[in-house]
Structure 1
Amino acid sequence: MKIAVVTSNPHKAAEIAAFFGSAVAVEHIRMEIPEYRHPDVGEIARQKAEYAYQALNRPLMVDDTAFCIHALQGFPGPYA
């Protein structure tokens, strides 16, 4: 199985490849994707995936993370 990982960050692609190990071949596709702003990190990832899919028209995955501190009511969240 082969997965296309779309990111401008080679370290993210390497982390994903390490996660899957030899079970899945990871193809890193370097692409600048706009930085979407939304309070829901899932929505940000969805928008990024849609943008990449419109450009490549193939199955792919993107990555986005949030840094949420419970004592600060989730701040800074996806804006970190």
Structure 2
Amino acid sequence: MNNKELAQFIDISEQALYKWRKERPNLYKIAMFYKDQLNNSLGDIDDKTKLLLTYFEKLNEKEKEYFLSEMHTRILKKELDEK
């Protein structure tokens, strides 16, 4: 996750994020800590999975439910076809 994606995630402008660095340094440090932790936890994940997670985060809750249900259905069908 880069700073632009972080700003979108927390629903602020990228400029506001940089403004925090001067005017609200503790808040900026918290945001950067979160970003670093997220990036570190994704370090072992391949690029396609990271991209999938990035897109998934942009969905609303109903869309997330829909796509998770669709993936689950595809997996079940694949398992049935293998038997």
Query: Which structure carries more relative contact order (alpha carbon 8 Å, separation 6+)?
Result: 1
Name whichever structure is richer in helix by fraction: 2
Name whichever structure is richer in strand by fraction: 1
Normalising by structure 2, we get a TM-score of 0.24
Normalising by structure 1, we get a TM-score of 0.24
**Which protein shows a greater Rg?**
2
